Chains A and B, each alone.
Chain A
Amino acid sequence: MAEIKIHPLTRVEGHGEVIIEVENGEVADVKFAVLAVRGFEKFVQGRPAEDVPYIVSRICGICQTAHHLAACKAVDSCFDAEPPEGGHKIRWLMHIGNMIHSHALHFYFLAAPDYVVGPDADPLQRNVVKIVEDNPEVGKIAIELRRYGQDIVEATGGKAIHPVTGIPGGVSSPVDPESRDDLLSRAEEMIEMAYEGAKVGIEAIKETLEEYREKHDIDLLETLGNIETYHMGLVSDGDKHEFYDGEVRVVDPNGEEVTRFEPEEYQDVIAERTIEYSYVKHPYLKDVGYPDGIYRVGPGARLNVCSGMKTERAQELYEEYVGEFGECVNYSLTINWARLVELVAACEEAKMLLEDDVITDEDECKEDYEPKAGEGVGIVEAPRGTLIHHYVTDDEGRVKEANLIVATTHNVPAIELALKKTAKKLEDEIVELA
């Protein structure tokens, strides 16, 4: 048996490896291994629950805010401390700021080099620096949107990376009115930039697809990661697209609803299977079983589970997306397109929240809490998908049990399935390489 190993995986956060096994002139198996585990679910045990949102943000330096806030929601429930309107909206705005930074980072810095510099280019040239050199106007959009997102998180969370203000029952301090005014004055320009960037990005995706069709006679959408899976994501208010707060909706590969659930019911729907060659477990829909119950989360899944966007410009781009691919999309290469739609939505949502004076109100940011025994589940949509934090506390308000299902974990089985299917489609080339 011959093996092709791809290691390290580049332009991603985290440590991964892909192993393609070739036997008797065929692709026998493809494994996607995640190579790191730190054990947060264990070492938060014994810690006071109010420290946990602060500890778990360190799970991910890109989407720290999502972890901070999913944990805050779970600990609110443990201590029966509901944030007042201001606290709720400050947290929500913090989340949106992180979404803007992360989506801008993910598309422009990590993904775009494949479209703009191109898959055939020298690997050393295929990075964000080359993009900025060749397309300074795109580089400006990437940098400005990231800066805006990080500035929002700093204003609401106290720190751009690993925010700190989230506490049981709200946030420790309101948004400084001066910061609010500054951020609000930039909001319209950011919506414009996100929109312009989306147009340019979508065009680049289309051109790449076109080029492959013409030059190599390959339909990239069908070839790379076209898999049928279920899709999961938050929705609210008539199944509208949702980043922060709502009900979780699950649809099948055709877009038909199979279930919907409240955060505290997640264990009824999801189970996880350990994998002997990977430090990440494979989640699946309990009712369907493993591996048939594999599902996806993230921008593509969120557009699949929702009935439309909350805001105007994003809705326009959503309609274009649905017009192009239909209401439930199973391709993988369309996910970045969906991400660009969401980036516009996030900028519009930020403006809406910044316009609300309640975020600057000292008396509206928290409700006092008392540590106690309890249990809570918090769910938010992290930039890369549904994020679940679940804690049980003891009488002193210390964590007794913890369970986390993080966004990319949900996607790991689907990523592996996509790699398997792609390797089969490109079998002749892969056998030759091995």
Chain B
Amino acid sequence: MSKATIATAQLSSCVGCHVSLLDLHERLLDLLEDAIEIDYCYVLVDQKEIPEHVDVAVIEGSIRNEEDLEVAEELREAANIVVAVGTCACYGGVHGLANLYHIDDVLEWVFKETPTTDDEGETPEEVVPEIFDYVRPLPEVIDVDYMLPGCPPKPESIAEVITAIIEDRQPKLPTTNLCEECPREKEDIPIEDIKFRTGQGRPDPDKCLLEQGYPCMGPATVAGCEAACPSRGLPCRGCNGPTKQALDQGAASLDAIASVSFETGVDVEEILKGLVDLPGKLYMFSMAASLLKGHRDVIFGSKGE
């Protein structure tokens, strides 16, 4: 059987998904020996042109600028199957939080106002690709065949998706929320208050953090990390993105908290106050994919695409 040809690319992101692929260690070498051939991967290979045809394109990162869009479209053209790898590609990722600001204000701060920038500050405009008004997830600009969220996804999950594609079967990936894989015990008691900030106090090691008053996004976040944060005494901040059933991670999170509160008559306002930073807490990794798309029109008016 001939090997499947693969192209990988990093759009706007941190390259962590590629590092996760490397964390397969010798298993990656076995895959390269038996099943796959990497034809394009600028992070590791000196190949500068995207090939005309590949079987699978593995794309990390979201659409922040013109070059991201060009590379995404070129890979869609070249590949039979496109996999969006990581939460940036699937839902925009953490830098989707920049969508809370007008892009001019972002650039103004970075290139003119930061305290070490000298008086000759100008926003770069030559050579560099044009930056878009807001961050978009990959599926908003090209058709995506598989979504593998995670920040980054576990090495085994990346291997599973690639192997499943080669074997022409559906990949086995987590679909439940994080609570299902969290070792902490839920008593289904009402949430009265978010009384702690992340990392404060000494939480009971065995009990649900949300029920102890920590701002945990587990109920609205898809599993896949073996509850890495709750296992270390920290509430989930939602880096895997929403479950498939949830249209919107922030809304699902609020829903989980509010449904319990309504039954008990707890003041929802109080709970929201405890979150300190509502957009940041509810959409730390999925702002760019949220149903609050209206924010784009409000901020950009007709300028938004």
Contacts and interface: CB of A to CB of B under 8 A. Distances in A.
| A complexed with B | yes
Interface of A: 7-15, 17, 19, 31, 33-48, 50-51, 54-55, 58-62, 64, 105, 109-110, 113, 123-124, 126-129, 132, 139, 143, 146-147, 150, 158-162, 164-165, 167-169, 172-173, 266-267, 270-279, 281, 283, 290, 366, 368-369, 371, 390, 396-398, 401, 403, 405
A398 B276 contact: yes
B14 A64 contact: yes
B97 A43 contact: yes
A62 B19 contact: yes
B120 to A, nearest CB: 6
B277 A124 contact: no
Looking at chain A's contact residues, the main secondary structure is: mixed
B114 A41 contact: yes
Contact of B19 (A40, A61, A277, A401): A61
B129 interface: yes
18 contacts: A8-B48, A14-B15, A35-B67, A37-B64, A43-B106, A45-B109, A48-B276, A59-B14, A61-B20, A62-B19, A126-B46, A139-B29, A158-B229, A161-B16, A162-B16, A271-B116, A278-B128, A290-B118
Contacts of B233: 172-173
A271 to B, nearest CB: 5
Given A42-B106, A59-B14, A366 B199 contact: yes
Nearest to A7: B48
B92 to A, nearest CB: 11
In the A-B complex, the 9 residue pairs with the smallest Cβ-Cβ separation, listed nearest first, are A61-B16, A167-B199, A61-B14, A123-B46, A277-B127, A39-B106, A38-B95, A158-B232, A61-B15
Determine which residue in A14, A43, A64 has the highest number of CB atoms from chain B within 10 A of its CB, and name it.
Answer: A43
Given A33-B127, A33-B128, A51-B198, A271 B118 contact: yes
B152 A162 contact: yes
A51 B235 CA distance: 11
A274 B234 contact: no
Contacts of B118: 271-273, 290
Nearest to A164: B229
Contact of B124 (A123, A276, A366): A276
B95 A40 contact: yes
B117 A281 contact: yes
Interface size classification for chain B = 35 or more
A39 B47 contact: no
B280 A272 contact: no
Given A41-B109, A61-B15, A274 B124 contact: yes
Contacts of A60: 14-15
Nearest to A15: B67
Determine which residue in A13, A37, A105 has the highest number of CB atoms from chain B within 10 A of its CB, and name it.
Answer: A37
B232 A173 contact: yes
A425 to B, nearest CB: 22
B225 to A, nearest CB: 7
B141 interface: no
A47 B280 CA distance: 6
B115 interface: yes
Looking at chain B's contact residues, the main secondary structure is: loop
A72 to B, nearest CB: 10
A123 B47 CA distance: 7
Contacts of A17: 127
Given A46-B280, A159-B228, 12 more contacts: A13-B10, A33-B127, A41-B109, A42-B98, A43-B98, A47-B97, A58-B93, A58-B151, A60-B15, A61-B13, A272-B118, A274-B120
Contacts of A390: 115
A146 B22 contact: yes
Contact of B117 (A12, A43, A272): A272
Contact of B26 (A10, A34, A38, A143): A143
Interface in B107-135: 107, 109-112, 114-118, 120-129, 131
B231 interface: yes
A273 B121 CA distance: 7
Contacts of A128: 44
Nearest to A132: B29
A371 B197 CA distance: 8
Given A43-B106, A369-B199, A274 B117 contact: yes
B262 interface: no
Nearest to A289: B118
A134 to B, nearest CB: 13
A146 B45 CA distance: 19
A345 B172 CA distance: 42
A299 B29 CA distance: 29
Contact of B237 (A44, A51, A143, A146): A51
Interface string B146-165: 00000110000000000000
Interface in B1-46: 10, 12-20, 22-23, 25-26, 29, 32, 38, 42-46
A58 to B, nearest CB: 5
A35 B95 contact: no
A172 B43 CA distance: 33
